Structure 1
C-alpha cells in the first residue's frame, strides 16, 4: 500500500509542476478475463500419502475476472508513463483424480485477490505501449475450496472438503507483469498481460500429515478493456 501511495504522490507532484503546459494524468476503469494456473499442486497434495501411488492426479487452470481502477501518469514531453492500479482478481484452479478402483474426485481452489501495483509504460508509436511492472496480491479467500467425488454418492464430500480447507491455505501473491497494449484516441484501452508469479501461493498446514510444502507459483494471462475518463 505504501508503494501505491508513493506513486500517487509522485504523479500528483509531477503533474502540478507542469500544469501550466498540459495535464498529464488520466484515470479510468478496466475489466477483463483471465486464465490462471498454479504449478506443482498434485505433488503438494499427494505428499507422503501412499494411497495415491496407483492413481492419476492432474491439475488444470481456470478462467476468472480482473478489473478495477487505474491512473495513468504520462511524464511531460516524453513517451513514458507510470500507471498505478488497484484491481480485484478472481481466479480458479482444479485438480482431477482417478484411480484403478474407479474412484474420482475434483478439488477446486477458488482464490480472490486485491491486486496493488504499477506499470512502467513506453509508447513507441502513438497509442501502442509496452509495459513492465510488479503487483502484490492480498489474498481475500484463502479457504475457498470445493470438493466433489463419486465415492458413496458424495456422502463424504463435506468432511473431505473440510479436510482440504484445514490443510491448504491460499497465501498472498507477488508477480512480475509484462504488458502489451493500445490506447485509442476515444479513451478506449486494450491490454494483454502475463503475470509471472514469484511467490508460493498455497501453504500447507503443519497439522496435516499428508501434504508437503512445495513451491506453488501462479501464472496468469489477462485480456482487458479499459476506459479513461476526461483528464483531471
Structure 2
C-alpha cells in the first residue's frame, strides 16, 4: 500500500513533463455515485447448502465529494489531476425462500479516496482520463441486517435469531477492506470554471475479508465497481511559480 501511495504522489508532481506553459487550478467537486459489490451471495450462502431460495445483489446510490489540483499543459493537450475525496458506497443483499423468510443485508461503507488521473483533451474543454486510486475504508463494520423473522415466529412458532444477534455476527465475521481501483473518466470543462463529468471505477482488489467464523460465511473475491456523475468548480492559481 505504501508503494501505491508513493507512486500516486510521484505521478502527481509537475516533474512529469518538461517545464513549459501550464495552467494550474484547484477546486471542489461533488455528485452521485451508484455502486455494486460482486460475489456477495457466495459469501453468505455457499453453493449447495440450501435450495428453494433466491439471494440477489442490489446496487445502491450514494454521494461523493472532494478536492482536486489540476496541472494542465495546453501545448500538449494533457493534464495531471490529483484528488482526495469522500464517497459512501453500498450494496444490498436480498434473501427470500419458499418458507416465507425474507431478509436484507446492507453493506454501507464510506471511503477516503486518494489518486491521480492522466487527462487528454482531444478538443478544447473536452477530456478523457484514466488513473489509479486507493479507497481507504472508514466504516469497516457498517453492516445492517433486517428481516421478517419475528413475524414468522408469531405466525408459526418457529425459532429465529433476532435481527440484532444476526447483525452482530455479520459485523464480527465480515470486515470491509481498503482497496485499489482504476478510474476511467470523461467530461467537459467550461470557460466559466464549471465542469461536469462521468466516471467508471473498476475495482481491482478484494474489498471484503471473511474472518474465521462458525456460520459458513466463506472468503471470496469481492470487488466494488461504480458509476458516478459529478459537477465541479475550479479556481486559478495567481502565482504559478509556487508550483
TM-score normalised according to structure 1 size: 0.91
What is the total number of aligned residue pairs between the two structures? Answer: 226
> Any gaps of 5 or more consecutive residues in structure 2?
152-159, 239-243
> Does structure 2 retain, via aligned residues, the 8 Å contact 1:57–1:98?
yes
Give 1:168's aligned residue.
174
Cα distance in 1 for residues equivalent to 2:8 and 2:16? 15
Cα distance in 2 for residues equivalent to 1:14 and 1:132? 16
Give the match's secondary structure for 2:236: coil
Cα distance, 1:138 vs structure 2: 0.7
> Any gaps of 5 or more consecutive residues in structure 1?
none
Cα distance in 1 for residues equivalent to 2:93 and 2:230? 27
Cα distance in 1 for residues equivalent to 2:73 and 2:214? 52
Cα distance, 1:48 vs structure 2: 6.8
> Does structure 1 retain, via aligned residues, the 8 Å contact 2:121–2:128?
yes
Cα distance in 2 for residues equivalent to 1:103 and 1:148? 11
Structure 1 stretches of 4+ moved >2 Å: 1-8, 13-18, 47-50
Cα distance, 1:2 vs structure 2: 2.7
Give 1:122's aligned residue.
120
The CA deviation string for residues 53-111 of structure 1, in whole angstroms up to 9 with x for no partner, is 33111111100111100111012622000001101110111001111111111100001
Cα distance change of structure 1 residues 175 and 208 upon mapping to structure 2, 3 Å threshold: farther
> Does structure 1 retain, via aligned residues, the 8 Å contact 2:8–2:132?
no
> Does structure 1 retain, via aligned residues, the 8 Å contact 2:22–2:71?
no
Map 1:153-164 → 2, pairs under 5 A: 153=151, 156-164=162-170
TM-score normalised according to structure 2 size: 0.87
